[in-house]
Amino acid sequence: MSHLGIFDASEHTLLRVLEGLRRSAPPPTVPDSVFALLDAILDPDHVPDEDVVPDLTMRMRGSLMELLPLIPEHDATKPEFESLIAVARRLLDEDPAGDYLGVRLHLRRMAVAGLGLVDLLAPLPVPCPPAETAGLVNRLPEGACGLPCAVQSPSAVGSSR
């Protein structure tokens, strides 16, 4: 078939197809259980009991192991991902200090690394300013939040007259 020009298996064509598939693939989904666990560990008003910390540590290890494969291969080389991946892997390889404080500190470090990975995997959308602030200059580029903005800069307002 390739002699007819219908099927092209060249590296260039395959890379173009792969890039198109990457753009069309949905973003990775972070499980709700990860959010609940991060909330339980990082809640500033809650100090876990000593007998609960080993269970939280095992669950956090599992969550980090669940998050790391969600990072798309093409994003793993970005500097912000590289450093977080390295920290998460280092924390997974480390054994925490034997005392309660050392174990809790290690648990919180794993949770902070997990939170960083979640932030990069599922970034929050940039909100548009509300319509009632129409007199203010919009500092976001048009459509930065994915929606048409109600606020226009004075230059855009002047040019539309």
6 against 68, higher pLDDT? 68
Task: Report the distance separating Cα 155 and Cα 153, nearest Å.
Answer: 5
CB 30 within 8 A of CB 118: yes
Phi/psi class of residue 147: alpha, beta or left (left: φ > 0; alpha: ψ in -120 to 50)? beta
pTM of the model: 0.61
Could you read off the pLDDT of 80-113 as tens digits, one per residue?
A: 788 889 999 999 999 887 788 889 999 999 999 9
What confidence category does residue 30 fall into, taking pLDDT thresholds of 50, 70 and 90? Answer: confident
